[in-house]
Amino acid sequence: MIDGLFETHINVTNLERSMQFYGDVLGLEFAHQEEGRRVAFYWMGHRGQAMLGVWEKPQAEVQRQHFAFRSSIENILNKSSDWLHARKLNPRNFFDDGTEAPMVFGWMPAIAIYFQDPDGHSLEFISMLPGEPRPELGVVTWEEWQTVSQPT
Sheet holding 39-44, edge to edge: 7-12, 50-56, 39-44, 29-34
pLDDT averaged over 10-residue windows placed end to end, the chain, 152 residues:
94 98 98 97 95 97 96 97 97 94 97 98 97 95 89 56
* Confidence (pLDDT) at 64: 95
pTM above 0.85, yes or no: yes
Matching CATH number, 64-152, of 3.40.50.720, 3.40.50.1580, 3.10.180.10, 1.10.10.10: 3.10.180.10
* Confidence (pLDDT) at 83: 97
* Confidence (pLDDT) at 150: 66
* Confidence (pLDDT) at 148: 87
Burial class (CB in 10 A: 0-12, 13-18, 19+), 18: buried
Q: Where are the domains of the chain?
A: 1-63, 64-152
* Confidence (pLDDT) at 151: 61
* Confidence (pLDDT) at 38: 98
Q: Are 104 and 110 in contact (CB under 8 A)?
A: yes
* Confidence (pLDDT) at 39: 98
Superfamily of domain 1-63, CATH level 4: 2,3-Dihydroxybiphenyl 1,2-Dioxygenase, domain 1 (3.10.180.10)
* Confidence (pLDDT) at 149: 76
